[in-house]
Chains A and B, each alone.
Chain A
């Protein structure tokens, strides 16, 4: 059966990890890998894999739009604004891994289906992808939550120049997403970079300010959510909790990467690329096979 054609813009770590995941997918194939410099590490990597590459970035696709049905944008927020105009013009489904927040915020296990109807979908942040499924699940059970906070610790090695330069966007975007997927007005996101060697795995703690929660129901839904997540991120693990401490419900999640292009400690990058590929697969199934 014919695979759906996918383009990737951005030849950095995220672009390369997406490429590996796309080539492993039974539903997707990478038809164009777009960057600016044929000598870059990422472009060399793609060429060695036998992928069609271009150093004309999105211009190549603008000239020949039938090359792709779906495009992943792994560049920057400001670049995505321009890319989206071109993708929209040609009716190409746009999955945005930058913090631009132009398109609808997407967490595949929560609202993946709704997002298939959108022209442009935003994958929020790594901290968002790791914590929002649990946040959403708990909020579906408990309606009286006053406040939600998440703290994401990632290894310094897995925070590239983009993440470092845009730490404010991470914090603001994750906070906003916590609000959107919980209906709790008061939310907060914290990010910590830890340079320890060997590098730490991505560690996320979710706090809910809550009175008299139904712990049995919460334990059940957290367990189910963990299982759902493991369908596309094998290294997703609830490592502590849910525990209740002075009216604070705590759940801790560790994300170990698949080690496709990036090391296993880069669970923070893996979860956002895995989520993006999961969404692309859902799109491919629906559009091409009507499933």
Chain B
């Protein structure tokens, strides 16, 4: 593994959007991009937490438009490519991808729930026709068996994507599954494989390392783990590990640490740690980014946010279905009057 080139996608300004309810301001984006530029990371992804076009009541309205965020970032990134993420169903070619190309995006990730890769066909093909670097993303990979994930990966390959990124959106994956999945896809496709971990169960950095050992070559993480739920694979930590192993030598570790400290810690006051609700979302297998909306509904309807997460897990909701939080909250409120059910105990049985 020593001489392997590891690609690092920095999703701080995209996934981190969830951590601040999509209120990142332009001065932060500018300062961050100036700081991270030329540090050795391979692309900086910018935009709403659920990707371009996802600013909505359903998920959360952005403080700034996609255009404002991307043009600000593009101006500040002199050496490092600018990346965008988009989920079809939220964004479209016409309203998001064509403008993003104009605003200077260089690298494109398009994502779908892990069993629905065929919705990515028209977007991947469109971007490949424009000669762009395109990665297909499968979200919430804990919700399907590895054989099924391989089928979806093959579809993404057949559409012409350069690579695939597996997202552990709920931070629910355990190392064995990560290892088997990456090996399986490595053996059966020519795709470059990326891994995007979440830290609900404290596994983000560990699982990323497992993925790399099994054949992945792209790390999709954030500085300080700034992101949805309990946060992401922390780039500084995984880079430090890789450098100890003799890899990722092109990354200026001190530079990215300084950006983490000055922007994420001091300016945005982000503190790390796995809160109980994030652990619950990991056990329930529910997308981490539901956290803020769950807290909001728990407050309005005076119920325990942990109960909401467990119930959402039972309903097998997928990323984007934030409206189900209100649906569940209203049901729980009614149920609370009738009986006190302990979801926690039930889930451990």
Residue of A nearest to B114 (CB): A195
Secondary structure class of chain B's binding surface, majority of residues: mixed
Complex CA–CA separation, A190 to B94 (angstroms): 15
Residue of A nearest to B90 (CB): A190
Complex CA–CA separation, A252 to B326 (angstroms): 10
Complex CA–CA separation, A170 to B92 (angstroms): 10
Complex CA–CA separation, A192 to B95 (angstroms): 18
Complex CA–CA separation, A110 to B224 (angstroms): 52
Which residues on the A side are within 8 Å of B95 (C-beta)?
A: 172
Instruction: Kindly identify, within residues 174 to 193 of chain B, every residue whose CB is under 8 Å from any CB belonging to chain A.
Output: none
Stretch among A38-46, A63-71, A202-210 lining the B interface? A202-210
Taking the complex as formed, is A76 at the interface, i.e. its CB lies under 8 A from any CB of chain B?
A: no
B305-337: contact bitstring with A at CB < 8 Å (1 yes, 0 no)? 000000000011111111110110010000000
Taking the complex as formed, is A194 at the interface, i.e. its CB lies under 8 A from any CB of chain B?
A: yes
Secondary structure class of chain A's binding surface, majority of residues: strand
Taking the complex as formed, is B40 at the interface, i.e. its CB lies under 8 A from any CB of chain A?
A: no
Which residues on the B side are within 8 Å of A193 (C-beta)?
A: 89, 112-113, 116, 119, 318
Instruction: Kindly identify, within residues 242 to 267 of chain A, every residue whose CB is under 8 Å from any CB belonging to chain B.
Output: 243, 245, 248, 250, 252
Q: A151-B320, A192-B320 are in contact. Are A250 and B326 (CB under 8 A)?
A: yes
Min Cβ gap A209→B in Å is: 7
B87-114: contact bitstring with A at CB < 8 Å (1 yes, 0 no)? 0111111110000000000000000110
B92 touches A172 (CB 8 A): yes
Complex CA–CA separation, A86 to B196 (angstroms): 52
Taking the complex as formed, is B68 at the interface, i.e. its CB lies under 8 A from any CB of chain A?
A: no
Complex CA–CA separation, A149 to B113 (angstroms): 21
Give the number of chain B interface residues (Cβ < 8 Å): 36
Taking the complex as formed, is A239 at the interface, i.e. its CB lies under 8 A from any CB of chain B?
A: yes
Complex CA–CA separation, A147 to B61 (angstroms): 12
Which residues on the B side are within 8 Å of A188 (C-beta)?
A: 56
B326 touches A168 (CB 8 A): no
Which residues on the B side are within 8 Å of A209 (C-beta)?
A: 57
Task: Give which listed residue, A190, A192, A205, A240, contacts B330 with CB less than 8 A.
Answer: A240
Task: Give which listed residue, B58, B94, B119, B143, contacts A149 with CB less than 8 A.
Answer: B58
How many residue pairs link A and B with beta carbons under 8 A? The number is 102
B119 touches A194 (CB 8 A): no
Taking the complex as formed, is A191 at the interface, i.e. its CB lies under 8 A from any CB of chain B?
A: yes
Taking the complex as formed, is B341 at the interface, i.e. its CB lies under 8 A from any CB of chain A?
A: no
Q: A203-B323, A203-B324, A205-B323 are in contact. Are A194 and B58 (CB under 8 A)?
A: no
B113 touches A190 (CB 8 A): no
B56 touches A190 (CB 8 A): yes
Taking the complex as formed, is A171 at the interface, i.e. its CB lies under 8 A from any CB of chain B?
A: yes
Taking the complex as formed, is B276 at the interface, i.e. its CB lies under 8 A from any CB of chain A?
A: no
B209-251: contact bitstring with A at CB < 8 Å (1 yes, 0 no)? 0000000000000000000000000000000000000000000
Complex CA–CA separation, A200 to B89 (angstroms): 18
Which residues on the A side are within 8 Å of B121 (C-beta)?
A: 164-165
Complex CA–CA separation, A193 to B315 (angstroms): 14
Min Cβ gap B114→A in Å is: 8
Min Cβ gap B148→A in Å is: 9
Complex CA–CA separation, A190 to B118 (angstroms): 17
Top 8 closest pairs, chain A to chain B, by CB = A196-B316, A205-B323, A207-B57, A192-B320, A168-B92, A191-B89, A195-B115, A164-B118
13 more contacts with CB within 8 A, not counting A149-B57, A156-B116, A164-B121, are A151-B56, A153-B324, A165-B118, A168-B92, A168-B123, A171-B89, A171-B90, A192-B321, A193-B119, A200-B315, A240-B326, A240-B330, A252-B323
17 residue pairs A–B, Cβ–Cβ below 8 Å: A149-B58, A151-B320, A156-B116, A164-B119, A167-B89, A168-B92, A168-B94, A172-B92, A190-B89, A190-B320, A192-B319, A194-B316, A194-B318, A195-B116, A195-B318, A240-B330, A243-B326
Chain B contact residues, CB within 8 Å of chain A = 56-58, 88-95, 112-113, 115-116, 118-119, 121-123, 143-144, 300, 315-324, 326-327, 330
